[in-house]
Copies of this chain bind each other. A is one copy, B any other.
């Protein structure tokens, strides 16, 4: 009597979530290039036109994927941040978490950083980035108040630290260096950022 009891009910139930989950798997295993809406529909056991009801086009699905990536990254960073720690180990922990994310999700990171999202999606992305950058900015401002960091423009400081971390993350995601080398280099990276390359 239950219409949903057939092995392939007319209504999927939660197609949107199924498509996103499938896309994330494909992204992880085969990369963006291998992502096809028709293929995802096939995997979900649904017609090729069905995804159109949940994502206005392919880019919309990619943007949704990127946004959920920002969410996961933000959670990972917040979980890795220990405000009780002194500045240097605190930043090192954050950097390590960021690099770990980059090493685990290289294709997702590339997608998160791609400059091809719809205006509306781009807005959500911008706030997601601000959330992360803001977190870093607050740590730096706080350290400034404690006299642990020079009294320069906090935006410039945040930009520099952010750039160094992001550059290291993309190098890591690029796969030129192996995981161990990258993660064991984090301490030196943060040390150099704090103390500079010039002799004291």
Contact present for B150 and A198 (CB under 8 Å): yes
Chain A residues within 8 Å of B, Cβ to Cβ: 31, 33, 106, 110, 113-116, 126, 129, 140, 147-150, 152-153, 156-157, 159-168, 170-171, 173-176, 185, 188-189, 192-200
Nearest B residue (CB) for A32: B116
> Are B195 and A198 in contact, CB atoms less than 8 angstroms apart?
yes
Task: With CB as the reference atom, state the residue of chain B lying closest to A157.
Answer: B197
Q: Are A194 and B192 within 8 A (Cβ)? A: no
Partner of A196, one of B140, B162, B173, B193: B193
Cβ of A41 to closest chain B Cβ, rounded Å: 21
Residues of B within 8 Å of A161, CB to CB, are: 197
Beta-carbon contact of B196 and A194 below 8 Å: yes
Q: Are A152 and B116 in contact (CB under 8 A)?
A: no
How far apart sit A197 and B153, CA to CA, in the bound complex (Å)? 11
Residues of B within 8 A of A193 (CB): 160, 192-193, 196-197
Q: A149-B198, A150-B197, A195-B196 given as contacts; is B163 within 8 A of A168 (CB)?
A: yes
Q: List 16 A-B contacts (CB under 8 A).
A: A113-B170, A115-B173, A129-B176, A149-B197, A149-B199, A150-B199, A156-B188, A156-B189, A157-B192, A159-B189, A160-B188, A160-B193, A167-B168, A167-B170, A170-B170, A195-B196
